[in-house]
Amino acid sequence: EALKSLNFIEHIVEEDLRNGFPKEKLRFRFPPEPNGYLHIGHASSICLNFGLGLRYGAPVNLRFDDTNPAKEEQEYVDAIKEDVEWLGYKWDTECFASDYFQQLYDWAVELIKMGKAYVDSQTSEEIAVQKGTPTEAGTPSPFRNRSIEDNQQLFQGMKEGKFKEGEHVLRAKVDMASSNMLMRDPIMYRILYRAHHRTNTDWCIYPMYDWTHGESDYIEQVSHSLCTLEFAMHRELYDWFLDQVVDKDLVRPKQREFARRNFSHTVVSKRKLLQLVEQGFVKGWDDPRMPTISGLRRRGYTPESIRNFADTIGIAKRDNVVDVSLLEFHVREHLNKIAPRVMGVLNPLKVVLTNYPEGEEEWLEAENNPEDEAAGYRQLPFSRELYIEQEDFKEEANRKFFRLKLGGEVRLKNGYIIKADSCTKDTDGNIIEVQCTYDPKSKSGSGSEESLRKVKGTLHWVSAKHALSAEVRLYDRLFTDETPDAHKDKNFLDFINPDSLQIISAFVEPSLADAKIGDRFQFQRMGYFNLDPDSKSEKLVFNRTVGLRDTWAK
Ligand code: ATP
Ligand code: MG
Ligand code: MG
């Protein structure tokens, strides 16, 4: 940890500490708007802010930036909390910008009294036109010089519900000629007759983001307020609003920006993810194909793998696209260490061992995880009829095919060496059964000369009589294009992969009857899987988290 190089935000904090900022006053926050579920892009911001908290022993608030009642819901608040906790972080205080509505209102009244805010009674179109262009100064509103008394009265009337939506707004009186368009008398409040998920109908005026964010940071005494680059131009306004209220003796929050992360073959914008949910392209926010934290969790990702991924990509000063195969690399690496190995046959082909006594069975010992001695061993049933993968048998094949072919031998993992003698086909010519003989002396681990005999291939298998049938869901990328939302002439929905979900029925070893929802396994040779919440005791459902190797064609 000490050796890990600092990111540029950590350098900023270090410099502030060197310049005398007291370490005990460091405080951070993660400020989601509860208008959707968290996604993998948020993981970067969560790991950054909570990582700073851990590094400096500083508190980190979870702040819900809930100033837009039209889009926000309690369901999202609950989901966000669950996801941050699942990622392994603990916030100091759960805060809501809506808890500051009264304080923000009182400060707005102060601004009016200082002559720094006014009620504008023009339409939003008129206001927009008067903003001017970056090279041309804006035109002052005809209401800019309203008297303080009139402004006070009108603003109070706005709060009391005396006006219709759009009839008035409150604007800060900053600078209509500023080269920063955001400084040209930004709107602080608008009238909105919408019930809020927390304040209900207490308010019919709602503060805008710029007016809310910095003041919320100040109320919470956040020392470093980290946001994404699109807010860089807002910093001047953030500072201007703080100038109006800060007390010298209190911490003055500092806004700093880092680059938003984009990821290949997916979209990370709550608005777009909501479209996928609402238009039925996925089954919900936690669909395993979604780049949401809840989707990744359901898919079988571990919190550690997401944190390691976020740490590896770090934070950047420029926008860029991260290849999702890097995320897959991290989950594969973690699951390799922790996931018990089991046998699951995805596309079953029956094998009959003609020299194995009918009606008999035996139990073989199998190691649970060669990467983890403590994982121990389990018993696997073996009998005359087995299933292997269809693709593991061919009637004829060249020398490079190290699986089963007529006249050839393979080892069954943890079991015996078998030889294929003949096969049966259906009327369409599909192979439906392979007849084999097994070498009774070749049992794995028995120490016999035959058990040590080398054969080229080792196959996974299950005993037909003992196997459990299971539904297996295999996933492909949700989008066929690497950057689905970066095309000017096309909508991201045009790139939906129609084959992103494949459902098959498989056979798995009987030990999986005890698996619990969320348990993760390596199905030998087939990838990593976890038990989906749709599972019932009579029908197990597994999601493939990721294959064993990166197989995406480049
Ligand atoms: P969205 O477009 O998905 O709604 P947002 O930035 O509006 O994104 P917020 O809920 O406001 O979403 O985000 C909370 C925090 O997470 C903010 O500080 C935001 O900058 C950060 N964040 C959001 N998306 C990303 C991303 N793709 N990469 C890095 N940080 C992000
Ligand atoms: Mg936001
Ligand atoms: Mg947003």
> How far does residue 522's CA lie from ligand 3's centre (Å)?
37
Ligand 1 closest atom vs CA 263: 27
- pLDDT at position 318, please? 92
Residue located nearest, by CA, to atom 10 of ligand 1: 32
- pLDDT at position 355, please? 98
Q: Is 33 in the pocket of ligand 1 (CB under 6 A)?
A: yes
Residue located nearest, by CA, to atom 18 of ligand 1: 227
pLDDT in tens, 230-239: 999 999 999 9
- pLDDT at position 553, please? 40
Q: What is the ipTM for the molecules in this complex?
A: 0.97
Q: Is 42 in the pocket of ligand 1 (CB under 6 A)?
A: yes
Domains and CATH numbers, the chain: 8-258 (3.40.50.620), 270-340+470-546 (1.10.1160.10), 348-460 (2.40.240.10)
Q: Is 146 in the pocket of ligand 1 (CB under 6 A)?
A: no
> How far does residue 225's CA lie from ligand 3's centre (Å)?
17
Q: Is 347 in the pocket of ligand 1 (CB under 6 A)?
A: no
What average pLDDT is seen over the chain? Answer: 96
> How far does residue 270's CA lie from ligand 3's centre (Å)?
6
> How far does residue 31's CA lie from ligand 1's centre (Å)?
8
pLDDT in tens, the chain (554 residues): 455 689 999 999 999 999 999 999 999 999 999 999 999 999 999 999 999 999 999 999 999 999 999 998 999 999 999 999 999 999 999 999 999 999 999 999 999 999 999 999 999 999 999 999 999 999 999 999 999 999 999 999 999 999 999 999 999 999 999 999 999 999 999 999 999 999 999 999 999 999 999 999 999 999 999 999 999 999 999 999 999 999 999 999 999 999 999 999 999 999 999 999 999 999 999 999 999 999 999 999 999 999 999 999 999 999 889 999 999 999 999 999 999 999 999 999 999 999 999 999 999 999 999 999 999 999 999 999 999 999 999 999 988 899 999 999 999 999 999 999 999 999 999 999 999 999 999 999 888 888 888 898 999 999 999 999 999 999 999 999 999 999 999 999 999 999 999 999 999 999 999 999 999 999 999 999 999 999 998 899 999 999 998 755 43
Please choose from 228, 268, 273, 317 the residue to mutate so as to test ligand 1's pocket, defined by most ligand atoms within 8 A of CB: 228
Q: Is 234 in the pocket of ligand 1 (CB under 6 A)?
A: no
- pLDDT at position 551, please? 59
What is the dihedral sign for C-alpha 351, 352, 358, 363? negative
Q: Whole-angstrom Cα distance, residue 211 to residue 111? A: 12
- Provide the whole-model pTM: 0.95
Residues annotated in a binding site for ATP: 33-35, 228, 268-270
Query: What is the enclosing helix (H) or strand (E) of 158?
Result: helix 148-159
Asked if 295 and 285 count as a contact pair (C-beta separation under 8 A), the reply is yes
- pLDDT at position 447, please? 87
Query: What is the enclosing helix (H) or strand (E) of 292?
Result: none
- pLDDT at position 286, please? 98
- pLDDT at position 395, please? 95
Task: Report which of 368, 315, 431, 328 is spatially closest to residue 52, judged by C-alpha positions.
Answer: 315
Say which ligand is closest to the CA of 227: 1
Contacts of 136 (CB under 8 A, 6+ apart): none
- pLDDT at position 159, please? 98
Asked if 206 and 190 count as a contact pair (C-beta separation under 8 A), the reply is yes
> How far does residue 150's CA lie from ligand 3's centre (Å)?
35
The number of C-alpha atoms within 13 Å of 30 and in the hemisphere containing its C-beta is 29
List the catalytic residues.
33, 260, 270
Q: Is 214 in the pocket of ligand 1 (CB under 6 A)?
A: no
Ligand 1 closest atom vs CA 46: 16
